[in-house]
Structure 1
Amino acid sequence: MAKTQFPMMPKAGGGVLAKLVGVVLVLAVLTMVVKQPAEAAVLVKGIAAGFGAAAEGAAAFLQGVLG
């Protein structure tokens, strides 16, 4: 019996360009952490705070809709 794929799921692997972009991003992050660790920490804290604020907003919205 043949495997059926889900129609909306992306295929595994990705192209050469996607892999190249990933490698470049990883190298950029590593360079930033090595050369400017304090600024990298501030950036990560800011990103985490943004995700936290988004989660709180979504929870407040759902409480307002459902409650």
Structure 2
Amino acid sequence: MAKQTLPGIQSSGGSSAPKIIFGLIAIGFVALVIKSPTEAAHLVSNLMTGAGHVAESLMTFLEGVS
């Protein structure tokens, strides 16, 4: 039988820099939530609103192209 890898655990052999950067961002966000939960909630709300505007703009562009 062929050797199977565990789902979600794959070694890509790539750089560890993205993992370190993601880890630092996650630690920073957790620290922000602990230090100031209200500001963290406003930050998430603003990010989601911005993502909605980006999606809406992209859809408007794609409708104009087609």
Counterpart residue number, 2:12 = 12
- Kindly tell me: are residues 23 and 13 of structure 1, through their superposed partners in 2, closer, same or farther at Cα, counting changes over 3 Å? farther
Alignment of 1:1-67 (within 5 A): 12=12, 14-66=14-66
Using the TM superposition, name which of 31-40 and 19-28 deviates more: 19-28
What is the rounded CA distance, in whole Å, between the counterparts of 2:49 and 2:60 in structure 1?
16
Unaligned runs of 5+ in 1: 1-10
TM-score (norm 2): 0.69
Unaligned runs of 5+ in 2: 1-10
TM-score (norm 1): 0.69
Deviations 1:24-57 (A, max 9, x none): 2211110100110000000011111111001000
Runs of 4+ in 1 over 4 A off after TM superposition: none
Matched letter for residue 47 of structure 2:
I
What is the rounded CA distance, in whole Å, between the counterparts of 2:55 and 2:12 in structure 1?
29
Counterpart residue number, 2:7 = none
SS, match of residue 12 in structure 1: coil
- Alignment: residue pair count: 56
